[in-house]
């Protein structure tokens, strides 16, 4: 039997073992529309039962010796390695990933598992000074039950980056993947941890619609919500969490800028810009959505980027050697095209691409924009590269910051000049002489402004902050004297 044998998960959810679901979702291949299987969907009632069971299982899991929890995470990393080819095939077919992106995502899952295996034995607090005759400690304790709501674009990596540290630190998890990637973003994680020896009831797989999402936020047992997705949905979750006095860690949208400084190598810069805008069809929160180029290089860069865009084939990544696969569904495909056509109608120039190609969209370059056009203002979530010029460093900083988002910025060119610019911009991440799409399991990840609530993902410090609570503990040698 393979890891993802259809008989295990078909029409089921994972909640204290694989249970028959009362609702179903057809798992389809976005490139062809072919049916890949039938996933089970949870209901709000399923969530309520799962949350109650998770709270029970969490107490035992939190009391499990740290080395035993670490062993489960290490075994998960080994299993991700052993089953990488099978997992990559699902990422290609279900999520529309090109093969290189699928391989990269599988490697992120491996790295995340091994990185989080160190968390159970990571220092869990600090010794404090005290004005009293006592020992004083601040220790970190598991938050309890954590809800993880993950998106479709990097379904495995963006779900696991919360599931793995939450489990490692002694929490139970309710995982709600996007139904469009219920297997690669849900079943894969559930099966890996099942095979790795995670006790039953600690991890629950609950794919579903907005009602299920609301239920995993509102369940009384849930103390922390870790959400990756769109800014409008994130705002709604943040409002719910605030009303319920729960912590919500929100990693939201982005309209990320790549700044090309005067004197930069144009061909290398265009290569970086193409990768940043077109990887996974631009369906990444870190995608390069705005190219801001010094006026001395603007025409040359635009031409070089357009040439690279025209050379990138679009098609079915499961059957062809292509650079761009399908857009996740027809609705999003038409939204991308609508933004392009609206911007062209408003005066932008189409330098490459701009026409729907089956289930995909070709790498597109827009020039001659103004900053009020849709292609410049909105997060497109498609393979579109808008290009605009600047004259001074101050103007570049102003253009970068004139955006509701603040997730990732790349700066290409002279390092000293780039450092000066970096000090003037608002962004959760800055990459000098790299494009905007960067992620490593040990690095803090998050954005500011409408991109989220800061770095609550990646690295030991961020993970401990995200998935534990601080408890103050004092110890005296004898019972204290009191004036009453």
C-beta separation of 401 from 423 below 8 A: no
Annotated catalytic residue: which of 194, 251, 379, 403? 251
Q: State the pLDDT at residue 300.
A: 98
Same structural domain, 200 and 238? yes
Residues paired with 432 in a beta bridge: 411
The SS3 call for residue 299 is helix
Cβ–Cβ contacts within 10 Å for residue 41, how many?
20
C-beta separation of 38 from 8 below 8 A: no
403 carries an active-site annotation: no
Same structural domain, 48 and 189? yes
pTM: 0.96
Q: State the pLDDT at residue 390.
A: 98
C-beta separation of 134 from 475 below 8 A: yes
Same structural domain, 244 and 263? no
**What is the helix (H) or strand (E) element at residue 300, kind and residue range?**
helix 298-310
Task: Tell me if 484 is assigned to some domain.
Answer: no
The model's pLDDT over 169-182, given as tens digits with 9 standing for 90+, comes to 999 999 999 999 99
**What is the helix (H) or strand (E) element at residue 474, kind and residue range?**
strand 468-475
Q: Which residues, given as ranges, of the chain have pLDDT below 50?
A: none
The model's pLDDT over 261-318, given as tens digits with 9 standing for 90+, comes to 999 999 999 999 999 999 999 999 999 999 999 999 999 999 999 999 999 999 999 9
Residue 61 tokens read as 């899991």
Q: How far is CA 458 from CA 34, 451, 472, in A?
A: 35, 16, 25
Task: Tell me if 441 is assigned to some domain.
Answer: no
Same structural domain, 121 and 154? yes
Same structural domain, 237 and 187? yes
Q: Report the distance separating Cα 321 and Cα 43, nearest Å.
A: 39
Q: Report the distance separating Cα 166 and Cα 154, nearest Å.
A: 19
Annotated catalytic residue: which of 115, 218, 285, 403? 285
Q: State the pLDDT at residue 2.
A: 85
177: domain CATH number is 3.40.605.10
Q: How far is CA 310 from CA 16, 126, 266, 274, in A?
A: 50, 56, 17, 11
Same structural domain, 426 and 302? yes
Cβ–Cβ contacts within 10 Å for residue 464, how many?
19
Concatenated DSSP letters of 169-207: TT-EEEEE--GGGTIIIIIHHHHHHHHHTPPTTSEEE--
Q: Report the distance separating Cα 233 and Cα 101, nearest Å.
A: 26
Domain that holds residue 413: 256-432
Task: Tell me if 423 is assigned to some domain.
Answer: yes
C-beta separation of 470 from 140 below 8 A: yes
Task: Tell me if 478 is assigned to some domain.
Answer: no
The SS3 call for residue 425 is coil
Same structural domain, 163 and 268? no
Cβ–Cβ contacts within 10 Å for residue 321, how many?
9
Same structural domain, 98 and 110? yes
- Please give, one letter per residue, the 3-state secondary structure of 118-130: CHHHCCCEEEECC
Residue 484 tokens read as 């009453």
275: domain CATH number is 3.40.309.10
Phi, psi of 368 (to 5 degrees): 65, 30
Residue 460 tokens read as 């030991």
Mutual angle of helices 393-401 and 415-422, in 10-degree steps: 50
Q: State the pLDDT at residue 455.
A: 79
In the chain, pLDDT over 90 holds for what percent of residues?
Answer: 98
Same structural domain, 229 and 276? no
Same structural domain, 319 and 425? yes
Same structural domain, 211 and 241? yes
Q: Report the distance separating Cα 469 and Cα 138, nearest Å.
A: 10
Same structural domain, 263 and 381? yes
Task: Tell me if 157 is assigned to some domain.
Answer: yes
Q: Report the distance separating Cα 166 and Cα 483, nearest Å.
A: 44
Task: Tell me if 180 is assigned to some domain.
Answer: yes
- Number of folded domains that form the chain: 2
Q: State the pLDDT at residue 456.
A: 81
C-beta separation of 437 from 275 below 8 A: yes
The model's pLDDT over 415-470, given as tens digits with 9 standing for 90+, comes to 999 999 999 999 999 999 999 999 999 999 999 999 999 878 888 999 999 999 99
251 carries an active-site annotation: yes
Task: Tell me if 196 is assigned to some domain.
Answer: yes
Task: Tell me if 336 is assigned to some domain.
Answer: yes
């Amino acid at each position: 039997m393979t890891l993802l044998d259809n008989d295990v998960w078909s029409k089921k959810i994972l909640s204290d073992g694989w249970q028959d679901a009362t609702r179903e979702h057809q798992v389809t291949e976005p490139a062809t529309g072919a049916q890949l299987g039938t996933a089970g969907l949870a209901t709000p009632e399923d969530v309520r039962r799962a949350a109650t069971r998770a709270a029970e299982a969490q107490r035992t899991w939190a009391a499990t010796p740290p080395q035993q929890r670490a062993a489960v995470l290490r075994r998960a990393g080994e299993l991700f390695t052993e089953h990488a080819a099978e997992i990559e095939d699902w990422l290609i077919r279900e999520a529309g990933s090109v093969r290189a992106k699928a391989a990269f995502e599988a490697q992120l899952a491996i790295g995340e598992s091994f990185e989080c295996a160190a968390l159970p034995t990571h220092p869990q607090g600090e010794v404090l000074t005290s004005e009293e005759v006592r020992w004083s400690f601040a220790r970190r304790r598991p938050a309890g039950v954590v809800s993880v709501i993950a998106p479709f674009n990097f379904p495995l990596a963006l779900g696991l980056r919360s599931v793995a540290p939450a489990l490692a630190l002694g929490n139970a998890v309710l995982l709600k993947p996007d139904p469009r990637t219920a297997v690669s973003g849900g079943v894969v994680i559930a099966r890996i941890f099942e095979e790795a020896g995670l006790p039953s009831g600690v991890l629950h797989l609950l794919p579903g619609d907005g009602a299920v999402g609301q239920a995993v936020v509102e369940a009384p047992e849930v103390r922390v919500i870790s959400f990756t997705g769109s800014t409008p949905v994130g705002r709604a979750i943040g409002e719910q969490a605030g009303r319920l006095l729960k912590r919500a860690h929100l990693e939201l949208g982005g309209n990320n800028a790549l700044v090309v400084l005067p004197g930069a190598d144009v061909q290398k810069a265009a290569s970086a810009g193409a990768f940043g805008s077109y990887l996974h069809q631009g369906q990444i929160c870190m995608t390069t959505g705005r190219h801001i180029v010094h006026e001395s290089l603007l025409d040359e860069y635009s031409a070089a980027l357009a040439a690279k865009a025209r050379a990138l084939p679009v098609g079915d990544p499961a059957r062809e050697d292509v650079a761009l696969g399908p857009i996740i569904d027809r609705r999003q495909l038409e939204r991308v095209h609508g933004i392009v056509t609206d911007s062209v109608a408003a005066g932008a120039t189409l330098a490459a691409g701009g026409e729907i190609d089956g289930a995909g969209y070709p790498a597109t370059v827009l020039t001659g924009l103004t900053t009020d056009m849709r292609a410049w203002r909105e997060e497109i979530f498609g393979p579109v590269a808008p290009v605009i010029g600047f004259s001074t460093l101050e103007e570049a900083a102003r253009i970068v910051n004139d955006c509701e988002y603040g997730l990732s910025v790349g700066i290409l060119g002279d390092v000293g000049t780039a450092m000066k610019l970096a000090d003037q911009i608002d962004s959760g991440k800055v990459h000098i002489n790299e494009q905007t799409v960067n992620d490593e399991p040990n690095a803090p990840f998050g954005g500011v402004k409408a991109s989220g609530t800061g770095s609550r993902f990646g690295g030991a410090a961020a993970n401990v902050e995200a998935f534990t609570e601080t408890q103050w503990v004092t110890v005296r040698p004898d019972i204290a004297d009191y004036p009453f």
